[in-house]
Each structure stands twice: as structure tokens, then as C-alpha cells.
Amino acid sequence: MKLHLRVWRQAGPEKPGKFVDYDLDGISPDMSFLEMLDTLNLKLVRQGEEAVEFEHDCREGICGSCSMMIDGNPHGPDRGTATCQLHMRRFADGATIHVEPWRAKPFPIIRDLTVDRSALDRIIAKGGFISVNTGNAPEANTTLIGRDLAEAAFEGAACIGCGACVAACKNASASLFTSAKISHLAKVPQGHPERKHRVQAMVAQMDAEGFGSCSNTGACEAACPKEIKLENIAEMNREWARSFFVRE
């Protein structure tokens, strides 16, 4: 395959950025998008130029590191797919592909396609955990959880924290991410001791980080590589209201 890439290059957070054009030839349709970028970087290094900086880790759709906009879509054109799971056969031979970083004020650009997503970590630190006693692990069968409840909780727990929901939202809202973390812990009994504190603290931190409000357009659900449902946001709102009126 032959490809024409327009890649966002930016030397640092305070430096101006711009799209730079690159041509690639001999790209296998079976390559992942990240392998294609590896090929571009190998070419650039051999030419004595600086490689394109982008995040990656597991390359298995688990870690959420491979965050980039591809032709205006977070993670690319396929639904339920992270960038590392996107293959070049999805694009036509000779296609022009635009690649740029997440565009959101709470995600400042570090360099090229890499942004600082630590705002999501700070939301998690405010309440995305459960209390456990130290010592021996408890017997698994002492806390029974129905299958339907466990599966509903797991749907929220599947969130990989990539930030695609923020990048897709016109308001740069982190509501889908935050609600997935809140709702999956609220559904299981182990998460109940911190239930009230969790939702108040995480929502407050989300607002403090500068994320916008949810206007229920559904762009976040469409962009999510794990297809987290919009219903989680309604669940978060119910948990938030409950925290002020229900005594634990």
C-alpha cells in the first residue's frame, strides 16, 4: 500500500504545531496502525529526522495508551476498536490520512501525538477504589454477587481510561469515563462503604480539572473502544443525588 500521511508535529506544549506531510510505500494491509507509525519513524530516523512521538504500551486494546485522532475520529473509523487494533486494510491504497492528538483543554499536548491525560488519574485517585482489610484474602463465597449484577458491573469496569470520550465530546466532558468508574463500584457490595464519598469526590474532581458538562449527544459512546454505554452517566447522576439524601 501507498499512503500519504498528514501528521501533527509539535515540539512541546508551548511550541506552535502544524501538520507535516509524509509519504509511505510498501505498507502491508495486515499492519496495525501503530506498526505503520513504527515504519514511518524508522524511515525518519534513517533520514536523520526526529521520530513522531506517540503513546503505546500493550498493543492489545487493554491499556488505553494509544490515544490519537485519525481522520477526525478518536482511535480511527472502526467502532469498538483502539488505535492498536486498527489495521491498515481499513484504508484504501493511496489514501490520505490525518493523524493528530486528542483536542481537549484538560489534555495538554506534551509533544506531537502525546498528551497529558493525568487528569483522569486524579479523578480515579479521588474515589475509584474500595477499602479492604490487610491479611489473608477473604473467602470468595462469603460475598455472593448475582451473575446479572456482576456482568453489569463488569461493563463499567471494562473502561480502559483512554480518553476517547473526552476527545469526541464537543464539551470535552469526562462524564462517560467517570460514570463508568462510579457505576461499576456502586453495583457490587464491596464498593458500598465509599459509595457516598466516591461519587461526590470524583464528580468534584472532574469539574475541577476543567472537563465540560455532558449534553447527551452520545458521541462518547460512539467513540469508546470498549463501547461503554451512555446509561452509565444517568447512573452517575442518580448516585450523586442519592449521596445527599440517603443516610448510609
pLDDT tens-digit series, residues 187-213: 988 888 899 999 999 999 999 999 999
pLDDT at 131: 79
pLDDT at 162: 96
What's the mean pLDDT when you consider all of the chain?
A: 94
In the chain, list all ranges with CATH 1.10.1060.10.
117-245
Contact present, 46 and 59 (Cβ < 8 Å) = no
Residue found by looking up cell 507535516 in the block: 20
In the chain, list all ranges with CATH 3.10.20.30.
3-111
pLDDT at 248: 61
pLDDT at 219: 96
Contact present, 177 and 123 (Cβ < 8 Å) = yes
Residue found by looking up cell 460475598 in the block: 143
**3-state secondary structure at position 101:** coil
pLDDT at 159: 96
As a whole number of angstroms, the distance between CA 13 and CA 108 comes to 7
Residue found by looking up cell 500521511 in the block: 5
The CATH H-level (homologous superfamily) assignment of domain 117-245 is Alpha-helical ferredoxin (1.10.1060.10)
As a whole number of angstroms, the distance between CA 87 and CA 81 comes to 10
Q: Would you state the CATH architecture of domain 3-111?
A: Roll (3.10)
Contact present, 59 and 116 (Cβ < 8 Å) = no
pLDDT in tens, the chain (248 residues): 999 999 999 999 999 999 999 999 999 999 999 999 999 999 999 999 999 999 999 999 999 999 999 999 999 999 999 999 999 999 999 999 999 999 999 999 999 999 999 999 999 999 988 877 777 767 767 778 888 988 999 999 999 999 999 999 999 999 999 999 999 999 988 888 899 999 999 999 999 999 999 999 999 999 999 999 999 999 999 999 999 987 76
As a whole number of angstroms, the distance between CA 29 and CA 39 comes to 13
